[in-house]
Amino acid sequence: MQVNILIVDDKQSNLDTLGFLINDIDFRADIEINVIQADNGNDALSSAMKNDIALIILDIQMPQMDGFEIAAFLKKASKTKDMPIMFLTAAYKSEDMRERGLHLGAVDYLLKPIDPLIIVPKIKHYIDFYVITHKLININKNLELKIKEEVDKNQEKDRLLFQQSKMASMGEMIGNIAHQWRQPISIISMWSNNIIMDIDMEEVQNESLRKYATNINEQTKHLSQTIDDFRDFFSPNKSKDKFSLKSSINKTMSLLNASFKTHEIDVIIEIDDIEITSLENELMQAILNIIKNAKDILVTLPKEYKKIIFITIYRETPNVIIEIKDNAGGVPEDIIEKVFEPYFTTKHKSQGTGIGLYMTESIITKHLEGSLFVKNVEYKYEEKDYKGAAFTIKLPLDD
Question: What is the average pLDDT across 74-82?
Answer: 90
pLDDT value of position 101 = 85
Contact between 87 and 55 under an 8 Å Cβ cutoff? The reply is no
For residue 325, name the pLDDT band (cuts at 50, 70, 90): very high
d(CA 362, CA 150): 18
Amino acid (one-letter) located at 226: T
For residue 47, name the pLDDT band (cuts at 50, 70, 90): very high
Q: Are residues 17 and 102 in the same domain?
A: yes
pLDDT value of position 128 = 86
Asked which of 76, 97, 114 is the last residue of a domain, the reply is 114
User: Please, what is the Cα angle at 100 between 105 and 65, to 5 degrees?
Assistant: 85
Question: What is the average pLDDT across 350-358?
Answer: 54
pTM of structure:
0.47
Q: Are residues 196 and 90 in the same domain?
A: no
Choose among 49, 85, 43: nearest CA to 62.
43
Q: Are residues 159 and 46 in the same domain?
A: no
CA atoms within 13 A on the CB side of 231: 16
Q: Are residues 125 and 150 in the same domain?
A: yes
Span of 202-211, 282-291, 311-320 with lowest mean pLDDT: 202-211
Domains of the chain: total: 3
DSSP structural state of residue 292: H
pLDDT value of position 280 = 86
Asked which of 114, 143, 177 is the last residue of a domain, the reply is 114
Choose among 222, 224, 226, 231: nearest CA to 132.
224
CA 282 to chain CA centroid, Å, is: 21
Tell me how crowded residue 22 is: count the other CB atoms within 10 A of its CB: 20
Question: What is the average pLDDT across 141-148?
Answer: 78
Q: Are residues 265 and 188 in the same domain?
A: no
User: What CATH number is given to the structural domain containing 68?
Assistant: 3.40.50.2300
Most confident of 226-235, 272-281, 319-328: 319-328
pLDDT value of position 345 = 59
Tell me how crowded residue 120 is: count the other CB atoms within 10 A of its CB: 18
For residue 12, name the pLDDT band (cuts at 50, 70, 90): very high
Q: Are residues 127 and 31 in the same domain?
A: no
Asked which of 233, 262, 281 is the last residue of a domain, the reply is 233
Contact between 393 and 364 under an 8 Å Cβ cutoff? The reply is yes
Question: What is the average pLDDT across 341-357?
Answer: 53
Ramachandran quadrant class, 287 (left: phi over 0; alpha: psi -120 to 50; beta: rest): alpha
pLDDT value of position 370 = 93
Amino acid (one-letter) located at 17: T
- Report whether pLDDT(265) > 70: yes
Most confident of 25-29, 148-152, 232-236, 313-317: 313-317
Burial class (CB in 10 A: 0-12, 13-18, 19+), 361: buried
Residue 310: domain span = 241-396
For residue 152, name the pLDDT band (cuts at 50, 70, 90): low
> 380-398, pLDDT tens digit by residue?
998 899 999 999 999 998 7
User: What CATH number is given to the structural domain containing 262?
Assistant: 3.30.565.10
| Cα-Cα-Cα-Cα dihedral sign, residues 198, 199, 203, 204 | positive
Choose among 328, 335, 291, 330: nearest CA to 311.
291
Contact between 352 and 292 under an 8 Å Cβ cutoff? The reply is no
Query: How many residues comprise the chain?
Result: 399
pLDDT value of position 342 = 64
Q: Are residues 288 and 389 in the same domain?
A: yes
Contact between 56 and 8 under an 8 Å Cβ cutoff? The reply is yes
d(CA 347, CA 344): 9
